[in-house]
């Protein structure tokens, strides 16, 4: 399959280049990075040198992607809205790693993203790219909006408990810790080394844009209205996310039942690990795997679920390749590592 990566100079683009280099069925014909056009990929990311040698980044134009089997878009929010409408019909499939087409309701974009959507007619045509919850819709899909990394972690933890009827959908609480690479490659005042080193800070208080995404996916999958208080925290680590999620129990379930709900929901899922062991971010580094656990606290009357994943893999580029495999009719696990890198 001939594929392109539009926005290949960012962290998710670099991860896509790494994954595609080892993928037996995806041949990267185009790798655009307008800020790096003409510069060698290996000069920006020496880790990719063995696969891409002297290959430069391409400048984007519609002509360079015309006729490709699939295009990944790893662009900042707001850019895909102008690029994808003209690209559609010129390529076989599009997997957008950004947030431009994740929400179905156009009215949510001014509220959570601060601007009206410029291509609202396409919102209902995109499939939400979370295979473990919406796989049938992704098989052969033309337009896929890959899930946000923070949202995916919370959804993975909460969906099984909500679907099993163990917790109520209202008043869900998600406390999440994420690594700095989730903010992207371009430097920002709040992501410099001196800012993040030896510091943990909550951000996006009550306003984080992944909130409606979490609520939408949980409600759509389970049929139960979900409301979420979501608070992310930036931690001084390169990669990884851990989400500790809380819900009010509907009955008298115990920890064994909560763990069984996770195991049943993810039965036969190759990228999901459910265990009594408390998950760690490092255990998922470099893999497309999610680690999960759950507890029921009789003392406080709360149910807790924890999920960890690598934000650049299962939270972004690994998830995107998984979606691409489904769209192209390839085995879903092709080219995706299930074992993390350690130490």
Considering the domain boundaries, does residue 221 fall inside one?
yes
Same domain, 52 and 180: no
Same domain, 76 and 9: yes
Please give the pLDDT value at position 53.
Answer: 96
Please, are residues 117 and 106 in contact by the beta-carbon 8 Å criterion?
yes
For residue 72, pLDDT over 90 is answered with yes
Same domain, 169 and 304: yes
Q: How confident is the model at residue 64 (pLDDT cuts 50, 70, 90)?
A: very high
Per the annotation, the verdict on 149 as an active-site residue is: yes
As for how many domains the chain has, the answer is 2
Q: How confident is the model at residue 184 (pLDDT cuts 50, 70, 90)?
A: confident
For residue 185, pLDDT over 90 is answered with no
Please give the pLDDT value at position 186.
Answer: 83
For residue 188, pLDDT over 90 is answered with no
In angstroms, the CA 166 to CA 317 distance is 32
Please give the pLDDT value at position 285.
Answer: 98
**Domain enclosing residue 46, as ranges:** 2-125
Please give the pLDDT value at position 130.
Answer: 98
CATH number of the domain to which 82 belongs: 3.40.50.720
Residues 132-157 have pLDDT tens digits of 999 999 999 999 999 999 999 999 99
Same domain, 172 and 294: yes
Same domain, 191 and 76: no
For residue 220, pLDDT over 90 is answered with yes
| Mean pLDDT value across residues 87-101 | 97
In angstroms, the CA 145 to CA 236 distance is 28
Same domain, 118 and 155: no
Considering the domain boundaries, does residue 178 fall inside one?
yes
Q: How confident is the model at residue 190 (pLDDT cuts 50, 70, 90)?
A: confident
Predicted model pTM: 0.97
Please give the pLDDT value at position 231.
Answer: 98
Considering the domain boundaries, does residue 332 fall inside one?
no
Considering the domain boundaries, does residue 329 fall inside one?
no
Same domain, 166 and 53: no
Residues 232-241 have pLDDT tens digits of 999 999 999 9
Considering the domain boundaries, does residue 334 fall inside one?
no
Considering the domain boundaries, does residue 235 fall inside one?
yes
Residues 16-45 have pLDDT tens digits of 999 999 999 999 999 999 899 999 999 999
Please give the pLDDT value at position 222.
Answer: 97
Please give the pLDDT value at position 22.
Answer: 97
Q: How confident is the model at residue 108 (pLDDT cuts 50, 70, 90)?
A: very high
Same domain, 32 and 165: no
In angstroms, the CA 285 to CA 20 distance is 18
| Mean pLDDT value across residues 64-87 | 96
Same domain, 245 and 100: no
Same domain, 154 and 265: yes
Same domain, 201 and 69: no
Please give the pLDDT value at position 210.
Answer: 97
Considering the domain boundaries, does residue 106 fall inside one?
yes
Same domain, 66 and 23: yes
* Longest distance between any two alpha carbons in the chain, whole Å: 62
Considering the domain boundaries, does residue 142 fall inside one?
no
Neighbours of 194 (CB within 10 A): 7
Provide the mean pLDDT of the chain. Answer: 97
The DSSP call for residue 117 is: -
Q: Given 125, 140, 165, which residue is the final one in a domain?
A: 125
Please give the pLDDT value at position 82.
Answer: 92
Residues 263-322 have pLDDT tens digits of 999 999 999 999 999 999 999 999 999 999 999 999 999 999 999 999 999 999 999 999
Tokens, residue 145: 């909006």
Q: Which residues of 115-150 are buried (b: 16+ CB within 10 A; e: fewer)?
A: eebebeebbeebbbbbbbbbeeebeebebbbbbbbb
In angstroms, the CA 117 to CA 109 distance is 6
CATH number of the domain to which 304 belongs: 3.30.360.10
Q: What is the 3-state secondary structure (H, E, C) of 204-225?
A: CCCCCCHHHHHHHHHHHHHCCC
Q: Which of 20, 73, 149, 245 is catalytic?
A: 149
Q: How confident is the model at residue 245 (pLDDT cuts 50, 70, 90)?
A: very high
């Amino acid at each position: 399959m001939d594929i392109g990566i539009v926005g290949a100079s960012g962290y998710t683009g670099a991860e896509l280049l790494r994954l595609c280099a080892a993928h037996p069925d995806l041949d990267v014909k185009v790798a655009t990075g307008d800020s790096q056009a003409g510069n060698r990929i290996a000069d920006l990311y020496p880790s990719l040198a063995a696969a891409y040698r002297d290959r430069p980044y391409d400048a984007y134009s519609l002509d360079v992607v015309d006729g490709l089997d699939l295009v990944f878009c790893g662009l900042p929010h707001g850019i895909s809205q102008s690029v994808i409408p003209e690209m559609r019909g010129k390529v076989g499939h599009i997997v957008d790693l950004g947030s431009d087409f994740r929400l179905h309701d156009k009215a949510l974009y001014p509220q959570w993203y601060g601007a009206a959507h410029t291509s609202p007619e396409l919102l209902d045509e995109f499939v939400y790219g979370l295979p473990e919850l919406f796989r049938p819709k992704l098989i052969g899909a033309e337009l896929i909006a890959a899930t946000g990394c923070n949202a995916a972690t919370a959804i993975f933890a909460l969906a099984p408990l909500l679907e099993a009827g163990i917790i109520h959908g209202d008043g869900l609480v998600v406390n999440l810790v994420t690594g700095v690479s989730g903010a992207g490659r371009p430097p920002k005042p709040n992501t410099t080394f001196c800012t993040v080193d030896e510091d943990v800070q909550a951000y996006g208080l009550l306003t984080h844009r992944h909130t409606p995404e979490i609520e939408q996916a949980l409600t759509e999958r389970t049929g139960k209205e979900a409301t979420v208080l979501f608070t992310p925290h930036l931690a001084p680590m390169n990669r990884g996310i851990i989400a500790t999620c809380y819900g009010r129990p509907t009955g008298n379930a115990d920890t064994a039942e909560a763990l069984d709900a996770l195991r049943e929901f993810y039965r036969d899922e190759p990228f999901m690990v459910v265990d009594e062991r408390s998950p760690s971010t490092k255990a998922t580094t470099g893999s497309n795997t999610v680690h999960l656990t759950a507890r029921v606290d009789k003392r406080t009357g709360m149910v807790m679920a924890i999920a960890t994943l690598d934000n650049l893999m299962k939270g972004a580029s690994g998830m995107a390749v998984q979606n691409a495999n489904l769209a192209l009719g390839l085995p879903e696990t092709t080219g995706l590592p299930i074992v993390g890198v350690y130490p």
